[in-house]
Amino acid sequence: MEYTALLAGEPHTDQPACVDAELAAVLRGANDKLGDADRALLVPLLGRSIGLSVGPPPKRRLWARPAAERRQRREEIARYERQAVRLRREVSRRFVLALGRSPASVTDIWSGCGEEVSWVFWDLMDHPARTRTSSAYVRRLVDRLYLLHECYEQAMAHLALESAAATVSSGRPVARRDPLDDDPATRHPADGRLLG
């Protein structure tokens, strides 16, 4: 991910702001699993990852004294988290459907801690069956990484179209309801708050 940050003109980091944190986590995990000879297979994906995010997370501030600044900061964080969750849910749904699994089979994974995409990705690495050789595993891993990138690209396009349609129909940006908000499987069983 450091190379991706460099390509994007960001400071040296393994968590570039131009890549969704979940996608970056999957790519870091893949990098750790691959041997030196196979890591070159990831290079085309590093540049392709740039921009697959709802935007950079709000900047961390150590202390904002005025109440108005604290409130604005909370609103920025909440807006970013809502957008990131929508993107990740859409990516997870598309990824699961592409592998031929029902989206209902992964709703248990929506834990509320924001790690849905990487959990879904790694949990489905053995689907439909375990690979028998390490070379077959590497092939599957790289193929799934390409599929995951396609799902991110499609989800980004889908969410951008939804946003554009809402803006065009009303003449101004409109908050869209997420149909997953009505899905009981995406709510905390104790208090009904949204997970993710």
How many CB atoms are located within 10 Å of the residue 149 CB? Answer: 19
User: Residue 195: is its pLDDT beyond 50?
Assistant: no
113-132 pLDDT tens trace: 556 899 899 989 988 889 99
Average pLDDT over residues 9-33: 91
DSSP element (H, E) containing 185: none
The residue among 110 and 159 whose pLDDT is bigger is: 159
Does the model's pTM come out above 0.75? yes
Average pLDDT, the chain: 81
Closest alpha carbon to 145 in 56, 25, 53, 57: 25
Terminal C-alpha separation, the chain: 24
Specify the range with the lowest mean pLDDT, choosing from 6-15, 60-69, 113-122, 152-161.
60-69
pLDDT of residue 78: 92
